Amino acid sequence: MPVQEVLLPLFVEVILTFALLFWLAPMRVSHFKAGRVRAQDVALRQPNWPQRTLQVGNSYSNQFELPVLFYTLTLLALVTHHAGVAFVVLAWLFVISRLLHAYVHVTSNNVSVRGLLFGGSAFVLAIMWIIYIVEILTSPWV
């Protein structure tokens, strides 16, 4: 599989993370400037931001949970040459579910839908890891 095809889903996930960050940062700065939030009220990650900002912030924070395992697996699969068509298809399923999860998180924030999308992405990622582990453990050692 070409490197670009393997890395493209990872790039999309990275873009999602930066998009949320670049959306969140000005929101937080504006709250500080307007005096709606004081640094000591959020210094220890207390949830004292206005609801909308908290929503976007939580969605941004979520990008450092499951996606970390996705990044790790993608790089491992690439380096060990175990990133075939099935890997790329599953990677896209993972990333699409993460995009949808983030969308729900910053819009309706419907916890039931968000939970299904999170669970779906976790399931896909677990399958990816299982396949990779089995392939590595059953491959002849070089």
Express each pLDDT in 28-72 by its tens digit.
999 999 999 999 999 998 889 999 999 999 999 999 999 999 999
> What pLDDT is stored for residue 1 in this prediction?
87
Query: Around Cβ 4, how many Cβ atoms within 10 Å?
Result: 8
pLDDT of the residue at 142: 57
Domain residue spans of the chain: 3-21+58-138
Confidence of residue 100 (pLDDT cuts 50, 70, 90): very high
SS3 assignment for 19-31: HHHHHHHHHHHHH
pLDDT at 122 > cutoff 70: yes
pTM of the entire structure? 0.94
Arithmetic mean of pLDDT over the chain: 96
Query: Rounded distance, CA 87 to CA 56, Å?
Result: 30
